Structure 1
Amino acid sequence: MRNCQTMSAPNPLVRDRDVDFLLYEVHGALRLCALPAFADHDRETFDLYLRSAAKMARELYYPTFRAMDEQGATLVDGRVKTSPQMAALYDAAVELGLLTASRPESVGGANLPQVVSVIGYLYLMAGNGGAVGYPLLTAGAAHLIESFGSQELRDTYMTRMYAGDWTGTMSLTEPGAGSALGDLTTSATAVNEDAGLYKIRGSKIFISGGDH
């Protein structure tokens, strides 16, 4: 970390040539454009998103990572406050379309292939990993509601999360389990699978931004 903090700007972070080589030459991502789901995309649209993410990582995220690492989140009068830089970084991620890059146009997304979308996170994580957790978890929580929630839940929560108005977190681990997945005991028993009703036995706790 010390060496990373003393690197001179502009920091290349992730080499664009390495990304292009892996994405286009090794994995042949452009073949996805032959599929009906991605017929509206091509190398130009992929590169537009990736270069925008890279530019944001280098010019906005990287210059703030040291201050955010030193300041961290604070508990003030019973409320958790993030670093002063976080709001601008989050808004920039929303404007980039990070939260909805791989989502369909029906929910305001760009419908990019996941393999392209995830590289946007790669660039931003290289610039300031601590700042990426908020849009990353929000996108995941909103996607969960999009996939399994009722229309009422989608209208109430998903739309505002994808729009960047609200954030989300995960409720994965359990008291005393931490990251030891083998210690998890909570289970779900179907009551009415057609209606999506389950009985939950056990408990979960929020992680990573749950109090923010």
Structure 2
Amino acid sequence: MTKKLVVFGATGGTGRELVEQALAAGHTVTAAVRRPEAVALTHPRLTVRRADVLDPAGVEAAIAGHDAVLSALGATSTRAPTTICRDAVAHMLAAMERCGVRRIACVSALALGDAALLPWPMRLFVRHILKPLLRHPFADLLAMEERLRQSPLEWTIVRPPRLTQGRRKGHVRFAVDAPLPGAATISRADLADYMLAHVDDPALVRRLVEVAY
């Protein structure tokens, strides 16, 4: 069944995949972006709306009238403390309750989970390099996840490992509310494909999903 979807973070790699694949699947899409001129794609079922995720009124205007919210937001800097994802999701959830929109799926990061199940080179990389380097964005994502968990809405947290620019294969492994052993990579195309394929899945409501090849 086709939906009216609003995508936040639509100018990023995963966000662009979400928009393009959603349109290809027949959905009606609003790309909610800070800079509309950054969206080169045009389509009869695509609306590009200016929306600063830190502006509650702009977020609510973008969400109103849609069936589901998809967020592929991420921090733009690794060096400084940030609350962009936490605050943006708080505005989204508040707007959804006011507008009667129930469904939201947000991209997080698999590295926030149990590194013990990763392949050993990746485990060392995550523990000793990635987590220290990305401690500020990861803290923001953890706070975002907590905001979602506290919400009565129909949320799903999707945690991918390292994202690649590879083609869409159409098949991935996933684990619901459990660690996914051996998770190393997934393409942005397959991450978007998974999120869109499960946008209506009641089994993923208020669940955390780890997804990878």
TM-score (normalised: structure 2):
0.29
TM-score (normalised: structure 1):
0.29
Q: Is the helix fraction higher in 1 or 2?
A: 1
Q: Is the strand fraction higher in 1 or 2?
A: 2
